[in-house]
A and B are shown apart, each in its own frame.
Chain A
């Protein structure tokens, strides 16, 4: 393993080795990116086993299309986009994306400053998993992945206004749930 790590210290070297279909490079790629990409998949799918399946399929896509990566932008950003698309495809095939237009409005405004430092990654992941699928998907794409509403509308086959309203509702729900979790932690 030490030898493998020494071979691919540079991202460019790793990409070249992957382009040649080098099995060592593929194993190293898994070791380096699997945990991070699994977290991406879990954010969309919530179930870890299903997320692992999607991650592996996404890695196969990365190996298949590695020749398309021309070095423009970061390799991880290019790969993350492929993995995200794979997760969205899985959601689409299982009809998980249902835009919750009739979801109740959140009127409670939570004062958000100063409480987030007490929250761990696991808490935030759990809060995110409680969101309806449509809210969660739009929030993930916009707030974490950095997609525009136009891109989200194209990816999910919805209007931009629908994307905006979904994001607004997602934020409100997350604020509410985070404050609840924070309150519970504070009491404990």
Chain B
């Protein structure tokens, strides 16, 4: 089919015509290429990114595993700084209960009892102290039961205080006669509810000291926890940790237990292959 002369003229002249673009056009082209590379670059670099990501994960995982195997100083500090709430901030009834059992062996209780007598009943500790000393001194088992029960309400405590008017002389008498308190303690241990109180005695001595001295409060709790809880826990000892420990021993000039390492240098035999 023959082309129209106008079509033929324009097609022949203009089909392969060229107009040189300005320099600004090339700069724009370069900018577009760079923005395109920046926009799609991170997923087009897929294999390299994947390799980098995997190696980063492996490194992080290995580091975490090593850290978890070896207890660092920060771990023990973190553990010791998280004491159980009953030691740092004991509940008022429990506090009174604990102190009540220790009361005969402390002289400071006398001053507290004096405060209680002066009428400062608004404080929660004071009536419990006085109430706690009262049953031990009055030698009535019924009253000791009431106080030693774990959940003692303040109203009950107030009643006990009212029924025991003179606690100070009785306490002095107790200090003079420790055998009586022992007998009372044995009487208390005879009942199942009171057994728990007697078992708490070793801890309570520390908590009482800590409570009376606020400056040493944190240190005391820290040391008690690290001594009792952290060290008593059976630590998971892996092969890596054992080897690490022996390395530390060797570094510090201490004796190296080769059984822990897994081989003994004197028993290692070199294998020589001659060709």
Binding site for B on A (CB under 8 A): 21, 23, 26, 30, 34-36, 38-39, 42-43, 48, 51-53, 55-56, 59-60, 63, 112-113, 116, 119, 121, 124-125, 128, 139, 142-144, 171, 174-175, 178
Contacts and interface: CB of A to CB of B under 8 A. Distances in A.
B26 interface: yes
A39 B10 contact: no
Contacts of A21: 44
A183 to B, nearest CB: 16
Given A119-B13, A124-B14, A139-B10, A39 B28 contact: no
A36 B21 CA distance: 10
Given A30-B26, A52-B22, A112-B6, A125 B17 contact: yes
18 contacts: A21-B44, A34-B21, A34-B26, A35-B20, A36-B16, A38-B18, A38-B19, A39-B14, A39-B19, A42-B19, A48-B22, A52-B24, A55-B25, A63-B36, A116-B13, A124-B14, A171-B7, A174-B10
A124 B13 contact: yes
Interface string B214-253: 0000000000000000000000000000000000000000
A144 B15 contact: yes
Nearest to B4: A171
A104 to B, nearest CB: 18
Given A55-B25, A56-B25, A56-B32, A128 B10 contact: yes
A56 B16 CA distance: 18
Given A124-B14, A144-B14, A48 B19 contact: yes
A175 B8 CA distance: 12
Contact of A23 (B25, B26, B33): B33
B5 A113 contact: yes
From DSSP, what is the main secondary structure of chain A's interface residues? Answer: helix
Name the residue in B5, B9, B11, B21 with the highest tally of chain A Cβ atoms < 10 Å from its Cβ: B21
Interface in B184-225: none
Nearest to B3: A143
Interface of B: 3-7, 9-11, 13-22, 24-26, 28-29, 32-33, 36, 44
A11 B219 CA distance: 81
B10 A38 contact: no
A35 B21 contact: yes
Given A34-B21, A56-B29, A125-B14, 6 more contacts: A39-B17, A113-B5, A121-B14, A124-B9, A142-B7, A143-B3
